[in-house]
Structure 1
């Protein structure tokens, strides 16, 4: 096992704050006159909700607080209980198990998420759009689920709530809150394959006798090796948050979270697909291209606060502020070329180092209410959002002391021993600044009892300026009064089944330039969805059948290269994605929970050719748990299958021929079992990729691949009350 040096993590202020707050969190109410029965019933109800695979309300698609059945778009919810059952400890883990979502793992530290044929670029934390930069990778997709109560995913365009973005999906991470007035705790210790270990604590309680002041603290530390040679990781995650009833109808909530990731010997790029003679390679899954000195570290601090006031039973308002500060620092080695099958010679090397910072400030105001008209009750939401993002990336130059780049020895026997460079001071590489002002309105009208219309719109001012070291000059994108309409209709066929339809526009600014040096117009289009939804057992089991169609214009496509080697583009029309999704999630019986989804789409460009062919067109994602009856009720067993159809990319081989690189269809089988040793103490075993299936993700730009994770197991001991 790798021994991490003492002091690898400095005493961050959040850790000290947690240490000071912990004594207050274990405060137990001693007032003999407290209404214990009422508190007990409420706690029991909340406990049942926490064990569910669904939620009663969601606001990620439209801000009206509707149930999944009432929302006219495809919505998936991954609750905290499901994350525990499946052992989903990062955002990537969650995405891998959501209907219609595909994860492309380019290397060990970079991944991108996709839905309906397009990359997902709409991420939110508590409904606030948050910038994720996949090319720079400052720890975004490995965000720890220890911070969140659940993750909501809305597939399709979500411009009403997020503004600019792809018509793929929106991922909304709902942060844990200090709502409990009684002591609660979840303490976990786990160990698994490749010396991976994790400890996590999550405690909450009242901080005074009345319960008007509440606190919650979460801390997690994990470290481990990998199935990939040399690769080692460690991560620290903390959250401190509190709530205060500052008036009878006013609640103040505030907190801060921090996540720090340290990675030794990460890969930058993948393994070569071909040898120099054009024959295909077959590397061990442990093969790496990294050096023993490489590193890729990141940290993210997020401060947040909001005030919610209820004017009466029908109207309330919420004012929110958040600030995010994300940093990445890397020293990396990239190997390219095609090694000789016998000697292993022929690979080239490039050492790069980058320091990245992204800061984001967001202010939002939202007013929600209900009103009567024409003998029916209707809902209204008014909102305003201001967002400012500043991004900066600097680079360092590698000096190997020889005025050259050292050659790569036999790659067939590569063990990471490559000369360690001296790095220069940082210099400018890329910068951008963006601002968004948006106002939106959403209404739900009940025309007759079974028929409801959802009408909304968003007016957005968007501005972005930036510059890149390898492109002459700077660029500016500015669009005012961009209107995004939203129309939805839901008809209740009966108490359990409803039919729905929705329509919204797409607006996505882009920085690519045409042959004359003019920035292309924004991507525009529309997203349409129709379907049937069902809800049984008071919303504990939800089903969806959705058909969708997405059309885009002005999508940038490479059109040529200037004499200075700068690429120029043209705006293409007619990009289209269409398909359907089926999902069933929730509780069939009190002891039997299930989530099962199937998705299928076809995405083509204006010529009818496949768009993003590396994305599987068909996906199956299933998981279920069952608590045994009678004397065996201490045992819960579960499992699932994730299957995807075949994929391919076209890449140039060493002989100068464009060749199809394919990944056959494959299925991964996952199992779990949990034994309740006592009322509060349990042991859980998760086994992923049970049959040790070999599969890989394609890195199409360079004809490289990365292997997927082999069979692995994790044992978790959990104390929870």
Structure 2
């Protein structure tokens, strides 16, 4: 670490406590002069910048993040000033001169430190530096204009990607905006290493490293049990408009909340009020009547800036490439942050999301021999009266307190309530080879679904010195509760569907029909409680070597009471799972090869309760257990503006629930099976060359059944849905010269073949490997307005995004489509 960087923290503290009195100004100016004298001179460099006109303080923050400059200024002297836009290549001094043009503010440079000077009064110049913006990216990604981040928070505290001994991808605000990623499904489809699989009953499943991700979600680091329900699969209705970034962990996630799955977790980090006023208006229109409008505004709410607010309002209406389907979204978000003192900040927030949709679920069937029907991609076999109404209210709260420069406390809580009312019908059945019409059964369903989730997380994070080195210790506890109150009924409808000439206006039954003819259904009341204590120590064994040791002790309990309906007759069913004092350890070693590269190895335990499954004797199953191993190397370049990683992984999972062949009615299970997933991952994120931001990841995954209740399955692929080769690439390039206002983006989602084994015939239903290319062209009109055109599936590749069976569950990927967007920043 250079001397100038080492002195940033004490210098920042000295400047922040200075006042406007002349005596203290003199003292601060002396300290500043001494610091400048000790700062080595750095020759002027050229930078490619794309910074819109905005409040000057916010523009300076972005400039500091995109360059190596340390910028010192007085917030009071620039509070009402706006910057000019920067778009193109600039030298350090030229960029500052252009940004400050017309403000009256001058600058003085010494090495990589720049001091802004207020306009001269007579012959004297008044220097009032009270703030420093560093050159490194921070955890917050808004305004960074980057596809990488300086720190992640999914594992408690803030650590750089290089310091984190697990695989994490961050989808930054710029990435979300550049690709119009508005839902969790869209985010996961663009995340390296993640496979997305459609559920026939709505929602999508997410797979990582060969295993399904099961509701491992965090809001601002607080774990909840959202997702993992047949109503929404692993997805849930949440718009990305309210988030700064999405952090995706691949690998064992037991340290997140105890009952952690094998595949990973996701942390949603919400937007906050900023130090300077900023408003963005955005409008977009796209193929299939896809219209979206958004207002995002925030900034200080009092003169001192100790109260900051943020508000986001979003409306979207859209249809789809298939018949019948449509959706309307409304999102409202508000947040307040209060500086209760110089060391304590209270944050509050609330989000309300309303989705009213006519979905097309169930997917498409195939011929009876498994071959493709080759129906039009616009084909939907559902009825026009399908409806899904989902409302979600989420409340956030957190408190941060700094005891001193080394120790801090964070307490955060989240409460979420989701209600869903649904009714839909789709056909299920194969099509005879050579048929010109069909008489396919229609399955109808109704759902009345309420779920409440709330969680609390509190931890102390601090640094201490011992044996000549600085170490870090995190000690905390968290708890979460989930209560799902559901009623559903599934029945065969009296009318049939012609798959080859569908009728979207089949009669809609009333509720009494479902209750009287239900083949399955009934009320379901599920309650999940878990809590635990955790601790992580980062011990510096030597200058280049760090040992990370962590553990969580967990208590888990789930209770389910339901009534199984069969044509109006109900059978009560109850189940319970309970685990006490389950220990989930984590360990890692990191070795710094040089200033840019770190090699690491890590180990984590896997623990997932399975108490909802019963054995043939009526007892509950033991938890699923396993181990995850990872060996890799991470790189950090250009002061953190570029991150890279490569790793080898192996996961072994044991005692998964499987059907017991000795059970006469397939209603009981057994702990059986041992599976292994292994492979490697490579990823690059950030500014790889001047003007080019890139997120690229390649994943090789091999899954294998080592032991199975059915010995004939030993040695086969464990999860055939997950392709062996998976590539995710997206880059955005800012042109220079006469075209400096233009940015060009391009990317590809490519994968090798995958397949599903038909449960009825045992045949492999296969989708060959494919590549889907996307692109973007952006143009900045002036300091305020910009436009962009996004094109998806540019070569109109025809493929199945999800492979099902002969009778249902085959979903086409989107055909070629475009979205035009207009934005204003002021």
TM-score (norm 1): 0.90
Matched, 1:720 2:820: no
Cα gap change, 1:467/1:561 in structure 2, threshold over 3 Å: closer, same or farther? Answer: farther
Matched, 1:272 2:355: no
Q: Which of 530, 535, 557 lines up with 2:631 in the alignment?
A: 530
Report if the CA contact (8 A) 1:368-1:382 is conserved: yes
Deviation for aligned residue 1:420: 1.3
**Mapped partners of 1:387, 1:583: distance in 2:** 33
Matched, 1:417 2:509: no
Structure 1 counterpart of 2:768: 664
Structure 1 counterpart of 2:578: 478
Deviation for aligned residue 1:66: 1.1
Cα gap change, 1:700/1:439 in structure 2, threshold over 3 Å: closer, same or farther? Answer: farther
Cα gap change, 1:108/1:430 in structure 2, threshold over 3 Å: closer, same or farther? Answer: closer
Report if the CA contact (8 A) 2:759-2:805 is conserved: no
Deviation for aligned residue 1:644: 0.8
Structure 1 counterpart of 2:388: 296
Following superposition of structure 1 onto structure 2, how do residues 102-117 of structure 1 map, counting pairs within 5 Å?
102-107=195-200, 109-117=202-210
Q: Which of 422, 425, 434 lines up with 1:333 in the alignment?
A: 425
Structure 1 counterpart of 2:166: 73
Cα gap change, 1:446/1:33 in structure 2, threshold over 3 Å: closer, same or farther? Answer: closer
Report if the CA contact (8 A) 1:113-1:120 is conserved: yes
Cα gap change, 1:631/1:366 in structure 2, threshold over 3 Å: closer, same or farther? Answer: same
Matched, 1:306 2:398: yes
**Mapped partners of 2:678, 2:235: distance in 1:** 29
Of 67-76 and 85-94, more deviation after overlay is shown by 85-94
Deviation for aligned residue 1:514: 2.0
Report if the CA contact (8 A) 1:465-1:475 is conserved: yes
Cα gap change, 1:279/1:315 in structure 2, threshold over 3 Å: closer, same or farther? Answer: closer
Deviations 1:378-425 (A, max 9, x none): 001111112111011112577xxxxx8323153311131100111149
Deviation for aligned residue 1:144: 1.2
Cα gap change, 1:409/1:120 in structure 2, threshold over 3 Å: closer, same or farther? Answer: closer
Matched, 1:249 2:343: yes
Structure 2 counterpart of 1:10: none
**Mapped partners of 2:685, 2:159: distance in 1:** 17
Structure 1 counterpart of 2:734: 627
Structure 2 counterpart of 1:5: none
Name the SS for the 1:469 alignment partner. strand
**Mapped partners of 1:47, 1:288: distance in 2:** 39
Matched, 1:183 2:277: yes
Report if the CA contact (8 A) 1:254-1:304 is conserved: yes
Matched, 1:498 2:598: yes
Q: Which of 281, 298, 304 lines up with 1:210 in the alignment?
A: 304
Of 461-470 and 46-55, more deviation after overlay is shown by 46-55
Larger Rg: 2
Of 119-128 and 436-445, more deviation after overlay is shown by 119-128
**Mapped partners of 1:161, 1:437: distance in 2:** 11
Deviations 1:477-503 (A, max 9, x none): 010100011101110000001100110
Name the SS for the 2:177 alignment partner. helix
Structure 2 counterpart of 1:150: 245
Name the SS for the 2:188 alignment partner. helix
Report if the CA contact (8 A) 2:748-2:774 is conserved: yes
Q: Which of 689, 695, 706 lines up with 2:811 in the alignment?
A: 706
Q: Which of 476, 495, 503 lines up with 1:383 in the alignment?
A: 476
Structure 1 counterpart of 2:793: 689
Structure 2: unaligned runs, 5 residues or longer: 1-54, 59-73, 80-115, 117-128, 516-520, 565-570, 708-713
Cα gap change, 1:630/1:134 in structure 2, threshold over 3 Å: closer, same or farther? Answer: farther
Matched, 1:560 2:661: yes
Name the SS for the 2:375 alignment partner. coil
Structure 2 counterpart of 1:578: 678
**Mapped partners of 1:681, 1:381: distance in 2:** 45
Aligned residue pair count: 681
Matched, 1:444 2:551: no
Report if the CA contact (8 A) 1:108-1:267 is conserved: no
Matched, 1:637 2:749: no
**Mapped partners of 2:662, 2:640: distance in 1:** 56
Report if the CA contact (8 A) 1:106-1:698 is conserved: no
Report if the CA contact (8 A) 2:677-2:701 is conserved: yes
Q: Which of 694, 714, 720 lines up with 1:594 in the alignment?
A: 694
Report if the CA contact (8 A) 1:63-1:442 is conserved: no
Of 587-596 and 483-492, more deviation after overlay is shown by 587-596
Name the SS for the 2:356 alignment partner. strand
Name the SS for the 1:507 alignment partner. strand
Structure 1 counterpart of 2:486: 393
Structure 1 counterpart of 2:326: 232
Deviation for aligned residue 1:680: 2.1
Following superposition of structure 1 onto structure 2, how do residues 8-87 of structure 1 map, counting pairs within 5 Å?
34=77, 36=79, 42=133, 50-60=144-154, 62-87=155-180
**Mapped partners of 1:32, 1:350: distance in 2:** 64
Report if the CA contact (8 A) 2:489-2:522 is conserved: no
Deviation for aligned residue 1:567: 2.5
Matched, 1:358 2:479: no
Name the SS for the 1:631 alignment partner. helix
Structure 1: unaligned runs, 5 residues or longer: 1-25, 399-403
Report if the CA contact (8 A) 1:339-1:346 is conserved: no
Matched, 1:193 2:287: yes
Name the SS for the 1:81 alignment partner. helix
Report if the CA contact (8 A) 1:92-1:142 is conserved: no
Structure 1 counterpart of 2:126: none
Following superposition of structure 1 onto structure 2, how do residues 113-124 of structure 1 map, counting pairs within 5 Å?
113-121=206-214, 122-124=216-218
Name the SS for the 1:92 alignment partner. helix
Deviations 1:630-656 (A, max 9, x none): 221100001011101101112156xxx
**Mapped partners of 2:730, 2:314: distance in 1:** 26
**Mapped partners of 1:364, 1:629: distance in 2:** 47
Deviations 1:293-323 (A, max 9, x none): 1101211110011111111111110122211
Report if the CA contact (8 A) 1:508-1:522 is conserved: yes
Report if the CA contact (8 A) 1:64-1:442 is conserved: no
**Mapped partners of 2:528, 2:142: distance in 1:** 43
**Mapped partners of 2:546, 2:663: distance in 1:** 54
Deviations 1:208-243 (A, max 9, x none): 011001100011100011111011111011110000
- Normalized per residue, which structure has more strand? 1
Deviations 1:254-290 (A, max 9, x none): 01011111112x2231211125x77642211111121
Deviation for aligned residue 1:165: 2.5
Cα gap change, 1:397/1:155 in structure 2, threshold over 3 Å: closer, same or farther? Answer: closer
Name the SS for the 1:658 alignment partner. coil
Cα gap change, 1:573/1:272 in structure 2, threshold over 3 Å: closer, same or farther? Answer: closer
Deviation for aligned residue 1:43: 11
Report if the CA contact (8 A) 2:201-2:231 is conserved: no
TM-score (norm 2): 0.79
Cα gap change, 1:590/1:134 in structure 2, threshold over 3 Å: closer, same or farther? Answer: farther
Report if the CA contact (8 A) 2:324-2:360 is conserved: no
Of 313-322 and 41-50, more deviation after overlay is shown by 41-50
**Mapped partners of 1:518, 1:629: distance in 2:** 69
